[in-house]
Amino acid sequence: VALLLGAAVLVGAAGCTGAVDDGRQAADTAKLRVVATIFPLYDFTRAVAGGMADVTMLLAPGSSVHSFDPSIGDIRTLQSADVFFYIGGDGDVWVSGLLASGDITAVSVRLMDSVQTVQEQALPGEPAETGADEHIWTSPANAIVMVNTIRDTLCAQDSAHADAYRANAAAYTASLQTLDNELHAVADTAARRTIVVADRFPFRYLVDELGLSYAAAYGGCSDQTDASVSVIERLINTVRDEDIHYVFYAELSNRDTARAVCEQTGVSALLLHSCETVSKADFDAGVTYLSIMERNKENLALALNG
């Protein structure tokens, strides 16, 4: 409400200065309205839009896609959208029902259709899961494909700004390619090629892209947090067998499993951030997919060599 009031005051103040501002106001309401479900999609879309479109992130910072249910307000946001980007995995099964209801007129794009997906892997002791792993963006190579899909969609829906969208996407994919090259360089020159993630494991596409092996506590974005003795023993065995000195925990985790492994082996824990959910503090501080992945790159270099 405070934000809305602030905007109203700004518009009011601008209105006093004359006709030029009326024109600007009309241009703003004509902007393409784009809604993206989660942070990586939102971040890619705003990079391509570069301010030419209004981009909204549907899930509030800090809220988990795996327990998300759209509110009436969320549905209103989607009803007023021109374009809607979503991943299309287990985390947003609610989308298919909403689209089938016919309430949403936005051009809706499922990003899992853009990339090659893999089945989510069940880890020892877990019930076998059959769904495709939805954490496609954790590979920068996939991120580039996703950005190109976003670019093509924005160009088709808003041809007046197509040149800007293409230029923004070209600059952004160049940065993603640099990141991908740097991550490959870290993996290719590393002392070891196995990581231990003592947490849920939304990193399948990242390790596949880099050719790394892994041991994880739980598959995908399991909401399990209470590691069994056998899970912790399995991770400890990998730490000892591979002479590993750093294990990972995922973002917004209680870190209990990592703590248990660290206590029993003397190793240290590092963050591996999937970008799926950013905290409110990180969001407000302006983190991006690129800044998060840069930090992942540094932590991977430490874990693979330290």
Q: Which two tokens stand for residue 8?
A: 């109203």
Distance (Å) of CA 287 to CA 63, 146, 278, 296: 16, 19, 8, 13
Nearest residue to the partner Zn ion, using Cβ? 221
Contact residues: Zn ion, CB under 5 A: 202, 221, 276
**CB-nearer residue toward Zn ion: 21 or 283:** 283
The nearest distance, CB 236 to Zn ion, in angstroms, is 25
Q: Output the smallest distance, CB 94 to Zn ion, in A.
A: 15
Nearest distance from C-beta of residue 12 to Zn ion, angstroms: 42
Q: State the minimum distance, in angstroms, from the CB of residue 201 to Zn ion.
A: 10
CB of 277 to Zn ion, least distance (A): 8
Which CB sits closer to Zn ion, 202 or 219?
A: 202
E strand or H helix at 287: none
Q: Which of 136, 273, 109 is nearest to 204 (CA)?
A: 136
CB of 250 to Zn ion, least distance (A): 9
User: Taking the CB of residue 2, how many other CB atoms lie within 10 A of it?
Assistant: 6
Nearer CB in complex with Zn ion: 216/221: 221
DSSP output for 119-148: BPPPPTTSPP--SBP--GGGSHHHHHHHHH
**Nearer to Zn ion (CB atom), residue 221 or residue 300:** 221
Q: Write phi, then psi, for 142 (nearest 5 degrees).
A: -65, -40
Q: Which is nearer to Zn ion, 199 or 276 (CB)?
A: 276
Cα–Cα distance for residue pair 120/132, rounded to 1 Å = 5
Residue number, 40 or 202, with CB nearest to Zn ion:
202
**Phi then psi dihedrals of residue 221, to 5 deg:** -115, 50
Closest by CA position to 302, among listed 158, 195, 173: 195
